[in-house]
Copies of this chain bind each other. A is one copy, B any other.
Amino acid sequence: MPQLLRVQNFCVSRDGFGAGEGQSLDRPFGHADPGAMMSWAGATASWPNRTDPGGSRGLDDYFTRDFRNNIGAEIMGRNKFGPQRGPWADHEWKGWWGDEPPFRTPVFVLTHYPRPSFALADTTFQFLDASPAEALDAAKAAADGRDVRLGGGVATVREFLDADLVDAMHVVVAPLDLERGERLWEGPDELTDRFHLESVPSASGVTHLILWRR
């Protein structure tokens, strides 16, 4: 089986923004409400941060539980990892995800500023100053034959799309507009010269867009 680079469970607004304006420690998605963007996933039985039993097992749950299916590594941009910019002032920040990040694989964080690797539970974070193609080579080597997830944010997804390195994308359109912030696209039709596109509405109100390389 070929190793794919896959974008999974990437949430955008109806008007194409993946994050709002003004990311900060208190507002990882800027002015966008992450709850409103991600509520479709939080309502499912397979949501990794779920603390109560229950949750839906319908269509949305298939996408939530596919998050780790056959994934051996993740690549993310520095702005997904944290709100800091420039050289690392200290190494205390270890991401948004607490002591048990949901990745449970090697994670490669793209940054121009060096920082030592560290592990949290089953996840290891490594910091790379590399081109998209170089980062993908490193992630595939670490993924033990499995696929690589491209975790975002928007600028990172755009960069890998521009380099034509993305094999498959699952993008979730939340039923809200953001009007400003980081734009993934005007709409998915921008990519249909290179990708097949299926659009699947869910009972929860979101629409799942599935794209894969032609």
| Chain A residues proximal to chain B, CB less than 8 Å | 2, 53, 56-59, 62-63, 65-66, 69-70, 168, 196, 198, 200, 203, 208, 210, 212
Contacts and interface: CB of A to CB of B under 8 A. Distances in A.
B70 A65 contact: yes
Contacts of A212: 56-58
A62 B212 CA distance: 12
Contact of A58 (B2, B53, B70, B196): B196
Nearest to A6: B57
A206 B208 CA distance: 18
B66 A198 contact: no
Contact of A59 (B56, B65, B198): B198
Contacts of A65: 66, 69-70
Contacts of A69: 65-66, 69
A112 B63 CA distance: 40
A203 to B, nearest CB: 6
A53 B2 CA distance: 9
A53 B69 CA distance: 20
B200 A56 contact: no
Contacts of A56: 196, 212
Contacts of A53: 2
Contact of A210 (B59, B63, B198): B59
Contacts of A203: 198
Residue among A57, A58, A65, A198 with max Cβ neighbours from chain B (10 Å): A57
B66 A62 contact: yes
4 smallest CB-CB distances across A and B, nearest first, come from A57-B212, A58-B198, A58-B210, A62-B62
Contact of A196 (B2, B57, B62): B57
A168 B57 contact: yes
A194 B213 CA distance: 40
A203 B70 CA distance: 24
